Amino acid sequence: MIAQTLFILSLLGYALLLHFTLKAMVFKGKWEYLVFFLAAYLPFHTTFLSILFQATNSKLPITLFQVAKDLVVIGSVLIFVLYRRKIFEYPIRFQTVEWLLLAFIGLAFIFLLLPIGEPSFVEKALYFKNILIPGLVFFVGRNTNFEDFEVKRLFQIIFVIAISAFVVNLFEAFIGSHLQTFTGYALFNYGIYNMEPSGNFGLSWTFETQAMTKRLASFFADPLELASSVLLGFAAGLIWFLTSKREESFPYTLVMLCSMGSLFFSSSRSAFGAFFIMLFFIAVIFKLYRLILFGFGLVAAFVIFVVFFASEDFYYFVIDTLTFQNASSVGHVLEWVTALESMIQNPLGVGLAMSGNSGSVTDEARIGGENQFLIYGVQLGFLGMILYILLLAFSISRSIQVFRLTENVMTARIAFTAAAVKTGLLLPLFTSNAELFAYVNWITWWMVGYAMNEYSKIKNEEA
């Protein structure tokens, strides 16, 4: 009964969202409304597919819905072209970020065509799609000009996602079980990816700590995706808090508190580190020196707690984590060493779909996989890794410039959120294939594109 109810509600919600999006895009020419679809759907993507597979026990609808989100992105770009009456006269003003993105995607496309690596052309094409689609999302943002109410609507969706995720976390904690137990997560992984259930809760090891306590994921794919995604909710809530009247600040305070709550429920060490990195970044941008002191105070309090008050198991868990001696940390180091050895032996790269945790990467061909920088370095060589690092660096720096120079408050909020979250994600990128976290990455790439649109206008005014 629960499974049937979840299936009906999920399918109805998806149909309504898709109908609203396609109606706006096709009939009103609002191809920019793609971002509303992505913000509202991507957090639920894996949960939705799990519920669908549990109800149908068929791979066909799963394949169709997996492709559907990519087709909506491609459709948005095509509608943009169709609605431009003089598309060939459309001004192209590439900035550094665009050149780096084009170079990165272009390099990946060359590797797609070259007969390099063990994977088949189809497997390489599927991996290339994972690189291309975020680039298209950036393109949509780069060519979007929203009214203030439309930007506000996007942030409202982000706020609802952050609060809802925490509410579901509270429900999971109350019943003492993961939401994924009811959505068919284990059945989906076995049926689609041939992954046997693992761990003490019948899901996967990702859903528990080494102390065998639960790590919750809410309606996200897993606790790691939830942990990275709450950075988006917190950064968005904070910038609205800082740029709104104090009497209107309660909703944004609630969003930040809910984001922090979900961060604790996810129990992700890299996300905790990322959170403090993001706080330090925000403090520097706003010159909030009290926030820096607050951050150091929290670190000091944590150290005192671990040394004098924590249990022996927790004490050694922290020490082993910091010294890379626990199983998880050792696993990261081994993956990094394997990837680095491959890069030294093959500095020009070994080909697409040869590293990482993407569905098109087979265990037989996989080399490394728990560091996004090294994943691209293995596949695309040192050049690919350097292009990716430069792309992130210029995306963050240019977004900061837009935040400081633009006179539009809504645009400044988008640019700030993009820069803060991309900075915060730097640490998770060192310990996971974090570009696969579609919600936080696709939305922030859209935000970077939107900020670059404003950056181009600012530069034209200065010229």
Mean pLDDT of all residues in 235-247 = 89
Confidence (pTM): 0.92
CA nearest neighbour of 375 among 393, 392, 361: 361
35-51 pLDDT, tens digit per residue, is 999 999 999 999 999 99
* Per-residue confidence (pLDDT) for residue 242, from 0 to 100: 87
CA nearest neighbour of 166 among 250, 43, 62: 43
For residue 39, give the amino acid letter: A
Q: Which tops the pLDDT comparison, 44 or 83?
A: 44
* pLDDT > 90? residue 93: no
| 3-class SS of residue 355 | coil
CB 126 within 8 A of CB 359: yes
Mean pLDDT (the chain, rounded): 86
Q: What is the dihedral of CA 83, 89, 90, 94, to 10 degrees?
A: 150
Confidence of residue 254 (pLDDT cuts 50, 70, 90): very high
DSSP conformational letter for 359: T
Mean pLDDT of all residues in 13-26 = 92
* Neighbouring C-beta atoms of residue 307, cutoff 10 Å: 10
* Per-residue confidence (pLDDT) for residue 327, from 0 to 100: 56
Structural domain spans, the chain: 93-177+215-462
DSSP conformational letter for 119: S
For residue 426, give both structure tokens: 């730097």
Using alpha carbons only, what angle is made at residue 70 by residues 120 and 428, rounded to the nearest 5 degrees? 80
Stated length of the chain: 463
Confidence of residue 363 (pLDDT cuts 50, 70, 90): confident
293-335 pLDDT, tens digit per residue, is 766 776 777 677 666 665 565 565 566 565 555 556 666 678 8
- Tokens 């900075």 locate to 423
* Per-residue confidence (pLDDT) for residue 310, from 0 to 100: 58
Measured distance CA(183)–CA(213) in Å, rounded: 20
For residue 319, give the amino acid letter: I
Measured distance CA(109)–CA(221) in Å, rounded: 28
For residue 42, give the amino acid letter: L
Confidence of residue 280 (pLDDT cuts 50, 70, 90): confident
DSSP conformational letter for 197: P
Alpha helices (H) in 23-95, listed in sequence order = 28, 34-41, 45-56, 59-83
**Measured between alpha carbons, how far is residue 451 from residues 150, 177, 183, 285 in Å?**
15, 41, 37, 17
CB 52 within 8 A of CB 103: no
* pLDDT > 80? residue 64: yes
CB 141 within 8 A of CB 449: yes
Share of the chain above pLDDT 90, in %: 49
